[in-house]
Structure 1
């Protein structure tokens, strides 16, 4: 169990002294935006980040939710495998959830708390608030208010964020321009997650290469067969026969 002493900040964007009693660890696996595996003292811990909830990307029976891929990509960037981090556990006796996962806050090499950063960027909501693990709740709520007031990420879709999670039906009511403006993956989301293209998916171009490299004309991102987002519904599809063709056309490869 780790100590609970911390110092508050006047401005969360500035690096401050870390709380006492943290333990060092190394990231060994990314699961999604709010779950990560960290090796601590030679033991791999499945860590569920405290007080945050990112949209789903891997939950069985649940379609990929808007900004879930962005949250996962952000985690892969900031908590890349091999990254040295500092871990602050939950309160003793309440440091694990019913699945046995370690509940914790994670601090990045720059001293910033990852839990706060992902909320501040509009890629997570503050959630799963259970005493006594509420130590950093006020800071996280402040970060959430910032993201909400600036309509960042999940807050850019009216009605999408609810007290119970995310209402994917709201995202289908947003214009494609709004969605494509804010996504970094090039994925257009649908509440019906299938691999088939319908007439509502928009016009497809260069269909002679269909089934090979799948590009999104709005985001200029392409997806390869076997990629995590290749079979998701998209609008404004442009097909390429090779990755080099896509790159020559100004497209970049999806991170997943």
Structure 2
């Protein structure tokens, strides 16, 4: 056998061995999907809220079937009631499903945490880049002609912020204006468990009304 023939055999053998090893150890294209890590779809709850219970504006619009309307802040009455301008007209807004302690303008001394709630709401509204109003599926006004609405301040629901910080409680829940009741209740429970502000005083809110004697 000539030297050139030997060289050819060695080269051919090396190639054959390499091909064989590739065929043995390379992954089967049909098995590719079994090796990929699939990201499970978000659950309904994860879509509704993040781990911090943030209720997104997109979700709120989806479940109410209504659209956000941009508004301008004018003045404040207390933590859950304030005046706004919408479509060139002045309105007073009453936040849906939450209640803050009363300022008692006509009676004298504010209830405990009333001023704190007022300052909290006022600071958010005064310093906001964008404020938006969203109606629920029920009546848009109450007997005092106040707008009943959810308010988003820079994409964060004001009701959520008040409840999360223990400056408001869930109250005056009237169907069908209660679409976000379950989500807001979860937020309140966390503030209650952490004994934040209003919840730091056992019995201050008994589920129906505020009892100032429980604080003083």
2 CA distance for matches of 1:82 and 1:149? 29
Asked if the contact 2:54/2:160 (under 8 Å) is kept, the reply is no
2 CA distance for matches of 1:135 and 1:121? 21
* Post-superposition CA distance 1:144-184 (Å, at most 9, x none): 10110000010001111122221001112xxxxxxxxxxxx
Asked if the contact 2:78/2:118 (under 8 Å) is kept, the reply is yes
Structure number with higher relative contact order (C-alpha < 8 Å, ≥ 6 residues apart) = 2
Q: Look up the match of 1:170.
A: 214
Asked if the contact 1:26/1:82 (under 8 Å) is kept, the reply is no
Task: Find runs of 4+ consecutive structure 1 residues off by over 3 angstroms.
Answer: 12-17
Q: Look up the match of 2:201.
A: 157
- 1:24 pairs with 2:70: yes
Could you say which structure has the higher helix fraction?
2
Q: Look up the match of 1:102.
A: 147
- 1:11 pairs with 2:51: yes
TM-score, normalising length: structure 2: 0.71
Matches within 5 A, 1:35-114: 35-61=81-107, 63-80=109-126, 84-92=130-138, 94-109=139-154, 111-114=155-158
How far has the Cα of 1:14 moved from its partner? 4.6
2 CA distance for matches of 1:10 and 1:90? 22
- 1:132 pairs with 2:132: no
Asked if the contact 1:47/1:104 (under 8 Å) is kept, the reply is yes
- 1:119 pairs with 2:159: no
Asked if the contact 2:55/2:160 (under 8 Å) is kept, the reply is no
Unaligned 5+ residue runs, structure 1?
1-6, 173-256
1 CA distance for matches of 2:157 and 2:128? 17
Q: What is the number of equivalent residue pairs in this alignment?
A: 164
How far has the Cα of 1:62 moved from its partner? 6.0
2 CA distance for matches of 1:164 and 1:14? 26
How far has the Cα of 1:83 moved from its partner? 5.2
TM-score, normalising length: structure 1: 0.60
**CA-atom RMSD, angstroms?**
1.9
* Post-superposition CA distance 1:177-235 (Å, at most 9, x none): xxxxxxxxxxxxxxxxxxxxxxxxxxxxxxxxxxxxxxxxxxxxxxxxxxxxxxxxxxx
Larger radius of gyration: 2
